[in-house]
Amino acid sequence: MNFSVRYPFNYANHIGIPMISSTNVTVNTDNVVITIPRNSFRRFPNSGIIIFRLNEAIPTTGAALPVLISSGGFTQAVTVNGGADATGTEMATAGIYLIWYDKNQNLLQLLTVAP
């Protein structure tokens, strides 16, 4: 995916919902780390929704592990409604996910789950 020079993300439509794509998925003994381009959230407003494209499926070895999103050395846990950690099962397949983010609360909340 080509990123613009000014922004490390693209809009899904003209000045609409921003879209971020994963660059790597790593399963560790404690968690699943999904890497996104550096500074992906820098120019976003304080809160809102993003379209998140997971480019590769999470291996079955990460099904029960919590999911983290990492960008430029900063890592944030992904949660589901109610605040529980999202697991590899909820993001098991490659595809499109809707995520609510809030910079002030350090929140990434998964709004859609894998079928």
In a domain, 16, yes or no: no
In a domain, 8, yes or no: no
In a domain, 22, yes or no: no
Instruction: Kindly tell me if the per-residue pLDDT of 90 is higher than 70.
Output: yes
Number of domains in the chain: 1
The more confidently predicted of residues 112 and 12 is: 112
In a domain, 101, yes or no: yes
- Phi, psi (rounded to 5 degrees) for 60: -60, -20
In a domain, 97, yes or no: yes
In a domain, 38, yes or no: yes
Burial degree of 68 (CB within 10 A; 0-12, 13-18, 19+): buried
In a domain, 20, yes or no: no
In a domain, 9, yes or no: no
- pLDDT the model gives residue 45: 82
Show the domain range for 78.
27-110
pTM for this prediction: 0.84
Query: If pLDDT is split at 50, 70 and 90, which confidence band does 3 have?
Result: very low
Q: How far is C-alpha 34 from the geometric centre of its chain's CA atoms?
A: 7
pLDDT digits (tens, 9 = 90+) for 23-80: 999 999 999 999 999 888 887 888 889 999 999 999 999 999 999 999 988 999 999 9
